[in-house]
Structure 1
Amino acid sequence: MKKIFLTVSILMMSFVQAQDFQGMAVYESKTSTADFMKGMSGNRDITPEMQKNMEERMKKMFEKTFVLNFNQTSSIYKEEEKLDMMGQDGGRRMMGMMGGGGTHYKNVKEKTTVVDKEFFSKEFLIKDSLPKLDWKLEGESKQIGQYTCFKATAVKPVSESDFRNFRFRGDKEKDAAEKKKDSTKTAKTNLMDQWEMPKEIVITAWYAPEIPINQGPENYWGLPGLILEVSDGKTTILCSKIVMNSKEKVDIVPATKGKVVTQKEYDEIVKKKMEEMREMYRGSNRGGGGRFH
């Protein structure tokens, strides 16, 4: 068995070292919407029927397929287009707001990344250095498809622009609000205040040493093998298909369209816009009819 494994590894290494080597991996991404729907249940303007409808649409929107094309040094990770996407443009805008979507380009040799995103109808090109995680290689292993994968974990600071990790504070604030006389108005006014962003999350990844590529989905990289599965807060990304050295080659180049910003600058833009929305929401519930610019 070990001899067979060694032979496969040597063959794979020879593929990777080839001048024109290129591979493709398909990933299925799912983000839990349970916490989001729990927060929405506190809004008395949303009927049970509306909530059920919203839950089904949100679930569909956060179950996506992505394709990672990679070579020895670079990769590009982007969503597979679907005709039945919720409102197409509306769904894409929502994903941009929630931190998903966009095209992720990584160059592990130069340690750079380029991500294009749309936020409130504005296009941004996020250029920055690759985030480096302090991976801890664990002893566990499991089979993903035909590959033996090994577990690695890391603690990652949460980007303030990635709303997929927003969480509902809990029922304490809601219960306190409901005890007040004007509970309806209070619950409405404080709805956005009941959400918070964790400072950091634990990442669990499973990588395949049989595919000796320092790559993975989104901005994940840095392990001694292609990352086939990663759990990132409420999101799980799992590889469902791998193709090595296909005759059809893909141009692995970064996007070029959009306002160039760093990740920190983009986070600040998103944070400022969300604060404006929060104030507008408060103003409209006080009867002020706040305006959003």
Structure 2
Amino acid sequence: MKKIIIASILMISGFLNAQNFQGMAVYESKTSTADFMKGMGGNREITPEMQKQIEERMKKMFEKTFILNFDKTASIYKEEEKLDAPGQQGGGRMMMSMMGGGGTHYKNAKDKQYIVDKEFFGKEFLIKDSLPKYDWKLEGESKQIGNYTCFKATAVVKVSESDFRNFRFRNNNNAKEGDKKAETVKDTAKAKKTNFTDDWEMPKENTITAWYCPEIPVNQGPENYWGLPGLILEVNDGKTVILCSKLVLNSKEKVEIKPASKGKEITQKEYDETVKKKMEEMREMNSGPGGQRGGFRMGGGR
């Protein structure tokens, strides 16, 4: 068995040493919708039929397929292209971007830089920034992912405030008490300012678990994950799981690995602030008199 593993590593090392080495990995990304549905639960305006429709739409939005093309130093990570379903224009595209999809994610481990193009409210942005430095803790635990032996690593990471997958439902009883008080307020305008987004919070940090494959000694992975002594085949942050379902090494079909170049150049921090500011504006509009409780719509339809 050890001879087979050693032979496999030597064969893959030969691929890596090839001048035009390139690999392709397919990842399935799934995000739990439990928190989001819990947040919707307190909205009396949502009927059971509406809730079922929302659940089905959210499931499609939170289950995505991505392709990672990589060489020895760089990679591009992009959502698999699909024909737009009805209602996925406009607001639907915006929500895709805020849920981790849309655009091309380029990482260069040698230059320690990443470049991502994003579309937000009709504006195109080109996010350029330094790759995050992960303080990986290599664990002794291992498991099989497909035909590959992977090893566990954990790290505490700073969350992106523009990625809505990171939102957590605030678990406290004060919100319910606040709703009861709001119902007794004589000024109905003040009562209407209560918004379900008040029950959400964005954590500053998150603990992630990654599984990497030393047999494929490139320090790449899905999204912004990198820096381990092997390709990352699985990432779990407790809410979103990204799992490799297919891996191809040195295919005859080569993909040009280069970053996007279109859009307003901006740092990650500046982009996060832009998104936060716009969402606060929407929150204020929907919380005021005549506003729609529930914030933004989940789809792009009218």
What residue number does 2:240 align with?
A: 235
**Distance between the aligned counterparts of 2:83 and 2:247, measured in 1?**
24
What residue number does 2:37 align with?
A: 37
Change (3 A) 1:181 1:216: closer
Change (3 A) 1:8 1:104: same
Change (3 A) 1:188 1:43: farther
**TM-score normalised by L of structure 1:** 0.93
Higher relative contact order (CA 8 A, sep 6+): 2
Pick which of 136-145 and 161-170 moved more: 161-170
User: How far is the alpha carbon of 1:106 from its aligned partner?
Assistant: 0.4
Change (3 A) 1:41 1:285: farther
What residue number does 1:214 align with?
A: 219
**Distance between the aligned counterparts of 1:35 and 1:267, measured in 2?**
22
**Distance between the aligned counterparts of 2:120 and 2:239, measured in 1?**
21
**TM-score normalised by L of structure 2:** 0.90
User: How far is the alpha carbon of 1:163 from its aligned partner?
Assistant: 1.0
Q: For residue 238 of structure 1, give the secondary structure of its aligned residue in structure 2.
A: strand
Q: For residue 173 of structure 2, give the secondary structure of its aligned residue in structure 1.
A: helix
Change (3 A) 1:47 1:128: same
Given that residues 193 and 289 in structure 2 are in contact (C-alpha distance below 8 angstroms), is that contact kept between their aligned partners in structure 1?
A: no
User: How far is the alpha carbon of 1:284 from its aligned partner?
Assistant: 3.4
Matched, 1:276 2:277: no
Pick which of 73-82 and 36-45 moved more: 36-45
Letter paired with 2:39:
G
User: How far is the alpha carbon of 1:43 from its aligned partner?
Assistant: 1.5
Q: For residue 150 of structure 2, give the secondary structure of its aligned residue in structure 1.
A: strand
What residue number does 1:50 align with?
A: 50
Matched, 1:28 2:33: no
Matched, 1:155 2:177: no
What residue number does 1:250 align with?
A: 255
Letter paired with 2:221:
G
**Distance between the aligned counterparts of 2:254 and 2:215, measured in 1?**
22
What residue number does 1:16 align with?
A: 16
CA-based RMSD? 1.9
Letter paired with 1:256:
S
Deviation string, structure 1 residues 214-259 (Cα, Å, up to 9, x no partner) = 1000010000000000012411100000011111100101001111
Counterpart mapping for 1:41-190 below 5 A: 41-83=41-83, 85=85, 87-89=87-89, 90-180=91-181, 182=183, 186=191, 189-190=194-195
**Distance between the aligned counterparts of 1:234 and 1:183, measured in 2?**
37
**Distance between the aligned counterparts of 1:181 and 1:224, measured in 2?**
55
Identity %: 74
User: How far is the alpha carbon of 1:180 from its aligned partner?
Assistant: 2.5
Given that residues 177 and 187 in structure 1 are in contact (C-alpha distance below 8 angstroms), is that contact kept between their aligned partners in structure 2?
A: no
Letter paired with 1:14:
G
Given that residues 26 and 239 in structure 1 are in contact (C-alpha distance below 8 angstroms), is that contact kept between their aligned partners in structure 2?
A: yes
For structure 1, the 5+ residue unaligned runs are: 288-293
What residue number does 2:296 align with?
A: none
Count of paired positions: 287
**Distance between the aligned counterparts of 1:39 and 1:183, measured in 2?**
22
User: How far is the alpha carbon of 1:113 from its aligned partner?
Assistant: 0.4
What residue number does 1:264 align with?
A: 269
Change (3 A) 1:284 1:192: farther
**Distance between the aligned counterparts of 1:23 and 1:99, measured in 2?**
22
Deviation string, structure 1 residues 45-73 (Cα, Å, up to 9, x no partner) = 21111011101110111111000000011
Change (3 A) 1:26 1:183: farther
For structure 2, the 5+ residue unaligned runs are: 293-302
